[in-house]
Amino acid sequence: MKIGILTFHAARNYGAVLQCRCLYEVLKGLGHDVSVIDYRPDYLTAPYKLWKKSYFRHPGSMLKAGIHMAAALRRDAGFSSFEKEMRLSPMEGERFDAIFYGSDQIWNRNITQEPDPVFFAASPLAEGARNISYAASDGGISPSEEEQKTVRGYLHNFYRIGVREYPMQERMDSVGIPAAVNLDPVLLAGRGVTDKICSASPEQGRYILTYEAVDQPEVLSHARRIASEKGLRVVSIARTPYSAGIKRFNPKEFVALFKGAESIVTTSFHGVALSILYHKDFRFVPSGGSSDERILSLLDALGIEAGAAPDYDKVDGKLEGLRKESMNYIEEALK
């Protein structure tokens, strides 16, 4: 079957590119002809531009950007190279038997600004295809009353609807729209895929890793405390292109850093997912925002208590059960 994937593949964001690559590899592993549809809306790419016109109005930002430009260019080139390892298809000219929408926050209006018809199977590309959402998320952001009417109409375009969080499933059930909960593609694919796509670690020796998807001062303070107790170095991954004094890593190095860490402190969903995948001692630090919902939903599904050391024998058993459910969802949707 010829399958397209529509998601945030072009964002210079680690979680976005990893979830896309992992779903791509899973579908290819089922024997399908898979492409990532090369949709690059401005709302997705503009925040990651290395040079912005606004810098001319803020000399401090211009100076910081200039100082870190070489490292930022290296990071950006790593993302471009990673993206090109997948088959990309143009928005026009190709037809698909099925299109998978997601995973990622493709329905989060704080990102898309308003419901984007492309991600709701309401574009010419969707015509004649079996449209399936997989682990799609609205980021816990409730649309306005007017937007809700639009979204409900769009959702009827889908053959099957899969979402990432249980609370989102409950919200959809409350308005009469049946939805399954799907496992994030990184966890679905597992180490068989993540080991294949990661590089050699850019850091040697014993270290504790921090990764902040949302700024939270407690992350670094907690990491330093653990590092002092265990005799570890602290390695931090930049959340933004110009975080001063922090190295830039490409997506393959990002995975390698999680694989090689002795302990991890993070506010990120995919930081938690990779920690679980590689059986790490980790600490999730809540940000207090809507982004916490998906992480807490995952921890609850796997029976991991916040702040407690995971029993990975039990976690792996539950994770395997969730994998089977999600693979069944995919296979049933494609029958």
Domain locations in the chain as residue ranges: 2-48+83-190+322-333, 193-313
Residue indicated by tokens 């506010």 = 267
pLDDT tens digits for range 179-212: 999 999 999 999 999 999 999 888 889 999 999 8
Confidence of residue 244 (pLDDT cuts 50, 70, 90): very low
Least confident of 26-35, 54-63, 90-99, 126-135: 54-63
Q: Output the pLDDT for position 243.
A: 53
What average pLDDT does the segment 24-49 reach?
A: 94
Q: Output the pLDDT for position 53.
A: 58
Interatomic CA distance for residues 306 and 267, integer angstroms: 12
Q: Output the pLDDT for position 248.
A: 76
Q: Output the pLDDT for position 179.
A: 96
Interatomic CA distance for residues 275 and 266, integer angstroms: 9
What average pLDDT does the segment 315-333 reach?
A: 97
Across-strand partners of 208?
Answer: 234, 263
CA dihedral 217, 219, 221, 223 (to 10 degrees): -160
Would you state the CATH architecture of domain 193-313?
Answer: 3-Layer(aba) Sandwich (3.40)
Q: What angle do CA 155, 12, 89 make, to 5 degrees?
A: 60
Examine domains 2-48+83-190+322-333 and 193-313 and report if their fold is the same. yes
Interatomic CA distance for residues 192 and 201, integer angstroms: 17
What average pLDDT does the segment 23-38 reach?
A: 98
> CATH number of the domain at 2-48+83-190+322-333, out of 2.60.40, 3.40.1000, 2.30.30, 3.40.50?
3.40.50
Q: How far from the centroid of its chain's Cα atoms is residue 184's Cα?
A: 8
Long-range pairs, 294-299, Cβ under 8 A, ≥24 = 294/137, 294/140, 294/164, 294/165, 294/269, 295/269, 297/164, 297/165, 297/166, 297/167, 298/184, 298/269, 298/272, 298/273, 299/272
Interatomic CA distance for residues 84 and 234, integer angstroms: 32
When the pLDDT of each residue in the chain is averaged and rounded to a whole number, the result is 89
Residues whose CB is less than 8 angstroms from the CB of residue 164 and which lie 6 or more positions away in sequence, other chains included: 102, 103, 135, 136, 137, 181, 182, 184, 294, 297
